[in-house]
C-alpha cells in the first residue's frame, strides 16, 4: 500500500530561504517566471519573479550548459545555479546559472510592460487585462497588504473570544430592505443576495456571544463612483454583553492595532515597495456627528447643508480636521441621526433623534459603520411599526429577540476601501482583484 | 479631545479566566444567559450559558440581595458573586451569587428544550428554529469544530507561502459550465453565481504562485440528498510549480494535519462534548480509481456497474476497505476518468482516458476534489475544441494561459461535509448554520 505524507523538505527555495548566509556558494534550485532578460553578450541578467519578490540570476556562457537564447520573457522555469552575494542585486543575492528547465512558455508576447515599476496604463486597461496586470509587483503588493488586514482582523477577534461564522448569501429577504438588492430565481422561488450578514450575525450573538465573518456582500446600488463596488468583502463582527457602543469602537481600535502589527511584522517588503507609512492607531479620537459638522463648518468656513447626513466632502474635511488637530488619520464619528440609520439601530435614550452608532473615517472616508443594536423584542417591534415597515420575512430574525438576546452591537468594515486608503489609492477598483461595478462583470 | 483605545482590562470574566486558582474566594463578575434554574427552596442552582460552556451559580437566600423569583430562564444577566471550588460543578468551579442585573428578558418561553443534552426534535424543527436551536451547547459545538477546520486550513497554507484571495461571486459565465448555475439580472446584463473560484484561482497562480480562498459557492443542483447543499463554503487552494498532482495531495495531507493539531489544542471542550476522536492523518493511503473499484468489487463481492464514476455506495466501500486494511479514515482515489472531469483537468500523458486528478474520501465520502490542471495554452484550446465547447466568455481565463502559467494544481474541500464526517453526523444540514437546499431559503 502507498501513502502520502505532508510536504517535508523544500525541493525549491524561496527568496527568504536564500537569504540564509550558510547557503552562499551552494548549488540551489529555484523556480519562477522570467520577469526580464538583459542580454549583454557573454553575460546576461535574468530576473525571476517569485512570490516573495524579484531574484537576480546571472548567465555566463562559460558557466551555463545552455544558450541564453533558449530563455524568453514570461517563461516559467526551474533554475539551478550557485548562490552568491551581490551588493547591487535585490536582497543582496544572485544566482549564477548552470542549468535551466523551461516549464512553460507563453503563446504570445505580453500586451503590457508588467516588469516596469509604473506600467502607465489606464485603470480600465489594467482591469481588462487583470490576469496579466496583477503580475506587476506593485499591483500585486496591494493584495498582500489586503491579506494582512484580514489576518489582523481574524487574529485579534479570535483572541478576544469571537467565533467565525459562515452565513448564507442567498436568502428570502434583504437585511436592510430597500431597492438595492440583487434578485434571483431560486428553484422557482424569489430570492435575494445578501447585502450584509447583519440579521445572521445578530442571531448568532444568542449562540456564541461574539461572532465574526469575512465574506462577500452584494449591493445593487446604481452608484458609479470611485469608492463604491457592487460586490465587496465585508469584515463583520457582532458582540454581546456590551455596556455601550463604545465597547464596539474599542474593539475596532484593537483590531486596527493588530492589523498594523501584523503588517509591520510580515509585510515589510510590500509596505516598502508601495512606500506605505503605517498610521498610528494606539488611540483614535471620537466626536459626535453634530459636533463634527459644526467643527468643520467653523474651521473651514463651510455652510451645513444637510443636517442629517455627511456629504463626502464633509467626511474629507472631518478627516482633515482630526489630522490637523491631533495627528490622527482615523476618527470615530458618533451619534448619527436616527432617520439615516436602519431600524435595528439603538436610539440614544437621552435623545431619540440620534442613535448609539458610529462611522469610522480613515483619511476622510468612511470605512466602517457600526453601533449598538436594539436587543429588546418589543422595542424592536415598536420601531418597525413606527417606521411603517412590515415584519413579513423577518420572522426568524425576530425569533432570536423573542427568546432573548443580550445587549449587543457590532460593525462592518469595507475591506477594499480600507485597503485603498491604506495604500493611498484613489479608486477602490485598484484594491479589488476583480471588481464588480455597474458596467463590469468581467474578468 | 476624547480618544478610544483597544479594550484593556476585562470587565467580566470568561470560564477560562475563572479557572485561575488565584481567583478562588474573590468576588467576580460574569455575564451569560440563564440556561436552567433548579430552585430547591432556600438554595437554587442557576446555570449560566457562556460562550465557553456552562457555569454553575449557587443562590442562597441569605447571601444574595434579591429573591430568586426575579430570575427567569433565558434571561441574560450580569452576575456578581464569590468564586468557589466545587467538585460537582462543570469545570470544578461555581459562583456564590450576591447580586444580579437582568440585562434582557425574553418575550416568550422557549419553544424547545435547549438546555437538554438531546433535544429530541426533528432536523426540520431544528432548522426552522435555528436562532434558538443553535443555543443548545451540542448544536453550537459543531460550529466551533468547523471554525477549527477553517483555521487549520488557513494557518497551514499561510505558513506554506500561500496568499489569501477574494474573488467575485457574481460573474458573466460559470467556471465549469453546465445547467447547475443560478442566474440573475445584473443591471440588465445576464449574470451567474460562481459555482467555484476555479478560473480565478488559476489566474492568480500567475500572480502569487500559491493562493487560497475560503468562501461561499453556489450550485443550482436539483439534488435533495443528505450530502448536498445549494450553497456551501468551499476551502480552495491552487499552487504553481508543482512536479505532479502528488504535490497537491501532500499539501492537503499537511492541511489535515494542522487541522487536527489545532482542534486538539484549542477545541478540547467541543471534542469532548461531541465525543469526537480525531483521526490519524500523518499518512494517507492513495489508490488508483480503477484499482479501488477492483479492490472493493473483489473484497465485498460487488459487481462494477459504472466504470467511469464512483457510486456513493462504492465510495463508502472504498472507505471501509482502507479502514479495514490500514486503519485510515482517509484515502486519496487518483486517476479519475477524463470524461468525468472538467476540461481543465490534465490528462494522464501515459493514458489520456484518465486524468492526473484525485478525490479525497473521508469515512467513505468525497470531501475534496482536486488535481493537476492543464497549464499550456494550446493544449487547453485543443481540449476545449475536442469537447465541442466554446471559448466564449472564457477570454480572460484563457488570457492567463496565453501569457504564461506554470504547471499547477489545486483542490476544493467542502467545509460543511468535512465537518459532518468529523463530528459523525449523517446530514450535512446539521453542520451548516443556515442551510440552503431546494426547499429551504430561510432562516
Give phi and psi for A90, each to the nearest 5.
Answer: -60, 130
Distance CA B19, CA B34 (A): 20
Cβ within 8 Å, pair A131-B209? no
Distance CA A258, CA A256 (A): 5
Distance CA A401, CA A405 (A): 5
Q: pLDDT at position B41, please?
A: 85
Model confidence at A179, pLDDT cuts 50, 70, 90, reads confident
Say whether pLDDT at A26 is over 60: yes
Residues 333-372 of B with CB under 8 A from A: none
Q: Which residue has the cell 466568455?
A: B393
Q: pLDDT at position B178, please?
A: 66
State the cell numbers at A123: 485603470
Model confidence at A117, pLDDT cuts 50, 70, 90, reads confident
Cβ within 8 Å, pair A400-B131? yes
Distance CA B77, CA B37 (A): 13
Least confidently predicted of A264-268, A387-391, B363-367: A387-391
Distance CA A252, CA A42 (A): 58
Distance from the Cα of B409 to chain A's closest Cα (Å) equals 14
Give mean pLDDT, residues B40-52.
Answer: 94
State the cell numbers at B67: 429573591
Cβ within 8 Å, pair A104-B397? no
Distance CA B263, CA B267 (A): 5
| Residue B441 touches chain A, beta carbons under 8 Å | yes
Give mean pLDDT, residues A408-418.
Answer: 98
- How much helix, strand and coil, in percent to the nearest 5, is found in chain B? 35, 30, 40
Contacts with A74 from chain B: Cβ below 8 Å: 403-404
Contact B370, B411 (CB under 8 A): yes
| Residue A142 touches chain B, beta carbons under 8 Å | no
> CB-CB: which of B129, B150, B284 is closest to A164?
B150
CA angle, A120 as apex, A119 and A124 as ends, to 5°? 100
For all residues of chain B together, what is the average pLDDT?
Answer: 95
Say whether pLDDT at B175 is over 60: no
Distance CA B294, CA B274 (A): 36
CA angle, B431 as apex, B430 and B433 as ends, to 5°? 90
Residues 30-89 of A with CB under 8 A from B: 31, 33, 50-52, 74-76, 78
- How much helix, strand and coil, in percent to the nearest 5, is found in chain A? 35, 30, 40
Residues 282-341 of A with CB under 8 A from B: 282-287, 325-326, 332
Cβ within 8 Å, pair A216-B168? yes
Distance from the Cα of B381 to chain A's closest Cα (Å) equals 11
Say whether pLDDT at A275 is over 70: yes
Contacts with A284 from chain B: Cβ below 8 Å: 3-5
Distance CA A233, CA A253 (A): 20
Distance CA A179, CA A177 (A): 7
State the cell numbers at B292: 479501488
Query: How far is residue A164 from each of residues A208, A237, A241, B54, measured CA to CA in Å?
Result: 10, 9, 18, 20
Q: Is B408 annotated as a binding residue?
A: no
What tens digit of pLDDT does each residue of A155-174 get? 999 999 999 999 999 999 75
Choose from A7, A156, A161, A403 for mutation: most chain B CBs within 10 A: A403
The residue among A395 and B1 whose pLDDT is bigger is: A395
What tens digit of pLDDT does each residue of A281-304 get? 999 999 999 999 999 999 999 999
Contacts with A50 from chain B: Cβ below 8 Å: 209
Q: Is A375 exposed, middle or buried (0-12, 13-18, 19+ CB in 10 A)?
A: buried
**pTM exceeding 0.90:** yes
Q: Under DSSP, is residue B144 helix (H, G, I), strand (E, B) or coil? A: helix
Give mean pLDDT, residues A385-411.
Answer: 95
Contact B330, B260 (CB under 8 A): no
Contacts with B243 from chain A: Cβ below 8 Å: 11
What tens digit of pLDDT does each residue of B254-290 get? 999 999 999 999 999 999 999 999 999 999 999 999 9
Give mean pLDDT, residues A218-235.
Answer: 95
Contact A418, A278 (CB under 8 A): no
Q: Please name the helix (run of DSSP H) or strand (run of DSSP E) that holds residue B218, with its range, or none.
A: strand B210-218
Quick check: bond before B443 cis, omega within 30? yes
Cβ within 8 Å, pair A103-B434? no
Amino acid at each position: 500500500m502507498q501513502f502520502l505524507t505532508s510536504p517535508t523538505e523544500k525541493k525549491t527555495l524561496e527568496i527568504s530561504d536564500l537569504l540564509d548566509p550558510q547557503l552562499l556558494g551552494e548549488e540551489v534550485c529555484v523556480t519562477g517566471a522570467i520577469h526580464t532578460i538583459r542580454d549583454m553578450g557573454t553575460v546576461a541578467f535574468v530576473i525571476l519573479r517569485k512570490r516573495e519578490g524579484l531574484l537576480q540570476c546571472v548567465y555566463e556562457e562559460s558557466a551555463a550548459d545552455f544558450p541564453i537564447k533558449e530563455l524568453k520573457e514570461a517563461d516559467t522555469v526551474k533554475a539551478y545555479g550557485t548562490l552568491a552575494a551581490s551588493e547591487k542585486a535585490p536582497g543582496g543575492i544572485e544566482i549564477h546559472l548552470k542549468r535551466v528547465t523551461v516549464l512553460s512558455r507563453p503563446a504570445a508576447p505580453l500586451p503590457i510592460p508588467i516588469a516596469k515599476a509604473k506600467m502607465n496604463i489606464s485603470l480600465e486597461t489594467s482591469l481588462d487585462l487583470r490576469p496579466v496586470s496583477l503580475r506587476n509587483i506593485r499591483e500585486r503588493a496591494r493584495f498582500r497588504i489586503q491579506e494582512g488586514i484580514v489576518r489582523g482582523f481574524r487574529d485579534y477577534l479570535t483572541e478576544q473570544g469571537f467565533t467565525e461564522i459562515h452565513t448564507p448569501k442567498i436568502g428570502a429577504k434583504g437585511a436592510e430592505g430597500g431597492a438595492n438588492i440583487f434578485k434571483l430565481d431560486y428553484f422557482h422561488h424569489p430570492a435575494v443576495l445578501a447585502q450584509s450578514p447583519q440579521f445572521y450575525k445578530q442571531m448568532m450573538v444568542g449562540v456564541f456571544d461574539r461572532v465574526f465573518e469575512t465574506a462577500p456582500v452584494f449591493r445593487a446600488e446604481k452608484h458609479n463612483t470611485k469608492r463604491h463596488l457592487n460586490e465587496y468583502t465585508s469584515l463583520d463582527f457582532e458582540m454581546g454583553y456590551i455596556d455601550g457602543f463604545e465597547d464596539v469602537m474599542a474593539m475596532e481600535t484593537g483590531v486596527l492595532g493588530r492589523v498594523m502589527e501584523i503588517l509591520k511584522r510580515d509585510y515589510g517588503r510590500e509596505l516598502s515597495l508601495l512606500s506605505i507609512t503605517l498610521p498610528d492607531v494606539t488611540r483614535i479620537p471620537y466626536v459626535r456627528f453634530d459636533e463634527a459638522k459644526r467643527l468643520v463648518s467653523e474651521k473651514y468656513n463651510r455652510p451645513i447643508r444637510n443636517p442629517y447626513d455627511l456629504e463626502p466632502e464633509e467626511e474629507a474635511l472631518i478627516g482633515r480636521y482630526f489630522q490637523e488637530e491631533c495627528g490622527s488619520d482615523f476618527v470615530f464619528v458618533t451619534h448619527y441621526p436616527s432617520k439615516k440609520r436602519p431600524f435595528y439601530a439603538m436610539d440614544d435614550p437621552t435623545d431619540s433623534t440620534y442613535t448609539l452608532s458610529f462611522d469610522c473615517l480613515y483619511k476622510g472616508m468612511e470605512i466602517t459603520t457600526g453601533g449598538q443594536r436594539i436587543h429588546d423584542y418589543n422595542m424592536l417591534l415598536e420601531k418597525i411599526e413606527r417606521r411603517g415597515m412590515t415584519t413579513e420575512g423577518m420572522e426568524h430574525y425576530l425569533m432570536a429577540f423573542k427568546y432573548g438576546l443580550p445587549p449587543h452591537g457590532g460593525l462592518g468594515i469595507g475591506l477594499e476601501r480600507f485597503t485603498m486608503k491604506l495604500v493611498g489609492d484613489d479608486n477602490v477598483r485598484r484594491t479589488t482583484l476583480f471588481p464588480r461595478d455597474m458596467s463590469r462583470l468581467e474578468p
